[in-house]
Amino acid sequence: MKRLFISTLLILTVLSSSCSSDKTTEINGIKLKGDIDVHSAEFIDLPQDNGFVRPGELLEIRAKVTYVDSEGTSATETKDSVETNITQGQHLVSSLDSSLRISPDALSGETITVKTSLPEEDFQIFAVLTVRKNPADYIDPQGIITDFEAIDSLVNKERSLPSDYVPSDLVKLSVPTVLPNPEINQLRKVASDALSELFKAASAEGYSLSARSGYRSYSTQSSLYSSNVANKGIEYAQKYSAQPGHSEHQTGLAIDITASSANNQLTDSFGETPEGMWAAKNAHLFGFIIRYPKGKDSVTGYSYEPWHLRYVGKELAEKIFESGLTMEEWFEN
């Protein structure tokens, strides 16, 4: 029985090799002999290695497939229409005929995974695409940003908010606050909800945080900046406060936090307190980043501010945290 099985196998092997040796497949003028296999395949127009795509971008789905025969001869061809599945981030794309359109509302940091199966082979190609705006596309010639309502908008010394911009969805904070001014005890709803979650998680681990300054209107920032210039000089004012329109606090997405271990003040020492260290390690899990990290003055334009958190959404916060980059650098790299 065993011998019979072996001889059957031998005959089959001989048969199949004699059959396949007769067959040739011509690809791009190259003749491949016998059975051919896919050696490698990749998308032509999609960025490789976890590359970036822009909101609104149109991407062709074409694949470059290299085949190889039993003698090691290879040939490459381009397949124009390959069947594509979106296995992650379906809501961020619309699929046209053999192309993908990234939604104009896609937010920086969101991820799309594209999978293609080659029809004649059991071979799949994947591309993991990360959405990233080009901030240069969202600014007018006066340096005023046009995406001021977006949670991934980049505001800094070169990029200002319109002077009349007031977020429409400001809410009163539901976390402990330090100062009585009702204006600054507000954030946009999405950021306020995330801050409540952050404080709750901190509290569950024994860390008690408080909020000191959230939303700040253009006119409040204007008086703050003038009083800093008057009391402490222009150099100090430029280093620690923003000119009106240039403060992230006007977005309603930035919040200064502190703790009783830092006397509820905004000082560098907050970064060394158990509460400040907890926040630096965990803020991204709730969609916040430490916007002005230590040693990045020349990039952000600001000295280290361990207390200043900016809400950018969980996906982007996680990407920025993992990269170790500032918001400016993440958009550029």
Site residues, Zn ion (CB under 5 A): 256, 308
Amino acid residing at 286 = F
Catalytic residue among 110, 248, 275, 305: 305
Q: By the 8 A CB rule, do 123 and 40 touch?
A: no
Residue with Cβ nearer Zn ion (62 or 308)? 308
Which lies closer to Zn ion via its Cβ, residue 56 or residue 182? 182
**Residue nearest Zn ion by beta-carbon distance:** 308
134 vs 102: CA distance, rounded Å:
14
| For Zn ion, the closer CB: 133 or 291 | 291
CB of 210 vs Zn ion, minimal distance in Å: 14
Please state, as a whole number, how many other Cβ atoms lie within 10 Å of the Cβ of residue 5: 9
Question: What Å distances lie between residue 119 and 10, 19, 66, 72, 280, CA to CA?
Answer: 31, 23, 14, 22, 48
Can you spell out the DSSP letters for 71-126?
A: TS-EEEEEES---EEEEE-GGGEEEETTEEEE-TTPPTT-EEEEEEE-TTSS-EEE
Measured from the CB atom, the residue of 152 and 256 that comes closer to Zn ion is 256
To Zn ion, the closest distance from the beta carbon of 308 in angstroms equals 4
Residue with smaller CB distance to Zn ion, 132 or 216: 216
Range 116-130 burial, b when 16+ CB lie within 10 A, else e: bebeeeebebebbbb
| Residue 193, CA atoms < 13 Å, CB-side half-sphere | 7
188 or 308, CB closer to Zn ion?
A: 308
By the 10 Å C-beta count (0-12 exposed, 13-18 middle, 19+ buried), 73 is classed as middle
Rounded to whole angstroms, the Cα distance separating 196 from 90 reads 29
Minimum distance of Zn ion from residue 304's CB (angstroms): 12
> 322 catalytic, yes or no?
no
Strands 124-131 and 84-88: unpaired
Work out how close the CB of 303 gets to Zn ion at its nearest, in angstroms, rounded to a whole number: 12
Closest CB 254 distance from Zn ion, rounded Å: 6
- How far is 327 from 153, CA to CA, in rounded Å? 10
Alpha-carbon gap, residue 149 to 167, rounded angstroms: 7
- List residues with catalytic annotation: 305
